[in-house]
């Protein structure tokens, strides 16, 4: 067989049909089909929907974290004011206007605990219910020394110090009387 006979015969090289040597059969086009395009658009749309939902969840979580940290800061501030003595520790409630860009309602509950001389401060801070559909709240409990008990202990210590300082008699050592002075070591009184 010569070259010209191979090209003109129905079967090509080594018995392979000529159509297979030239490419796809007539009527079949190379490229993407409508089904492939629709499938690609559906995958793209689904992934955009998932990404949009992730962005929405992230935005909502960032807002909740910002509001939660503001509530914690406000509750900590209220407890610090009570512990420092700038306000009297008593049960109260109120509204803080525009703290951190939000209006906040707070409740302070002061209770005696089992240990004498201690108070439990229970501070609850919540976002304004009217402004938020799902208001965020934060609760902080802290124990502190009862200011009244602390005052009584300071008064008793001051009275004991004044009573001990008002004695003017000397201390006795053996059979001799030694006057009480500040430089004396031993069991004398305070000057």
Instruction: Report the percentage of the chain scoring pLDDT > 90.
Output: 24
Please, is 75 exposed, middle or buried when counting C-beta atoms within 10 Å of its C-beta (0-12, 13-18, 19+)?
A: buried
Instruction: Quick: pLDDT tens for 21-36.
Output: 555 555 566 778 999 9
CA torsion 173→175→176→178, rounded to 10°? 20
Instruction: Quick: pLDDT tens for 127-163.
Output: 876 766 778 889 999 998 887 777 788 888 888 888 8
Q: Print the domain residue range for 54.
A: 32-157
pTM: 0.57
Query: What is the predicted pLDDT for the residue at 166?
Result: 67
Please indicate, yes or no, if residue 129 is contained in any of the structural domains. Answer: yes
101: left (phi over 0), alpha (psi -120 to 50) or beta: left
Please indicate, yes or no, if residue 20 is contained in any of the structural domains. Answer: no
Query: What is the predicted pLDDT for the residue at 125?
Result: 92
Query: What is the predicted pLDDT for the residue at 173?
Result: 46
Instruction: CATH number of the domain at 93, please.
Output: 3.30.1300.30
CA distance 138 to 67: 10
Q: What sign for the dihedral angle of Cα 79, 81, 83, 89?
A: negative
Paired tokens of 28? 């079949």
Query: What is the predicted pLDDT for the residue at 160?
Result: 86
Please indicate, yes or no, if residue 136 is contained in any of the structural domains. Answer: yes
Please indicate, yes or no, if residue 57 is contained in any of the structural domains. Answer: yes
Query: What is the predicted pLDDT for the residue at 55?
Result: 98
Query: What is the predicted pLDDT for the residue at 4?
Result: 54
Paired tokens of 170? 């000397």
**More confident site: 47 or 183:** 47
Please indicate, yes or no, if residue 103 is contained in any of the structural domains. Answer: yes
Please indicate, yes or no, if residue 173 is contained in any of the structural domains. Answer: no
Please indicate, yes or no, if residue 180 is contained in any of the structural domains. Answer: no
Query: What is the predicted pLDDT for the residue at 189?
Result: 41
Q: What are phi and psi of 113, to 5 degrees?
A: -105, 180
Query: What is the predicted pLDDT for the residue at 128?
Result: 77
- Number of domains forming the structure of the chain: 1
CA distance 52 to 44: 12
Mean per-residue pLDDT of the chain: 76
Please indicate, yes or no, if residue 4 is contained in any of the structural domains. Answer: no
SS3 (DSSP) at 127:
strand
């Amino acid at each position: 067989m010569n070259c010209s006979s191979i090209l003109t015969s129905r079967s090509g090289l080594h018995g392979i049909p000529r159509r297979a040597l030239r490419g796809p059969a007539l009527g079949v086009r190379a490229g993407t089909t409508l089904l492939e395009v629709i499938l690609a658009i559906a995958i793209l749309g689904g992934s955009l929907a998932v990404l949009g939902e992730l962005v929405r969840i992230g935005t909502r979580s960032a807002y909740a974290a910002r509001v939660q940290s503001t509530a914690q800061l406000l509750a900590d501030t209220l407890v610090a004011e009570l512990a420092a003595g700038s306000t009297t520790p008593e049960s109260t409630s109120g509204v803080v206007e525009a703290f951190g860009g939000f209006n906040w309602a707070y409740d302070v509950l002061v209770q005696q605990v089992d240990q004498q001389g201690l108070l439990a401060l229970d501070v609850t801070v919540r976002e304004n219910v009217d402004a938020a559909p799902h208001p965020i709240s934060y609760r902080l409990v802290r124990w502190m020394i009862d200011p009244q008990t602390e005052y009584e202990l300071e008064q008793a210590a001051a009275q004991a110090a004044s009573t001990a300082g008002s004695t003017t008699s000397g201390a006795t050592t053996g059979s001799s009387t030694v006057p009480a002075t500040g430089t004396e070591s031993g069991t004398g009184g305070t000057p």
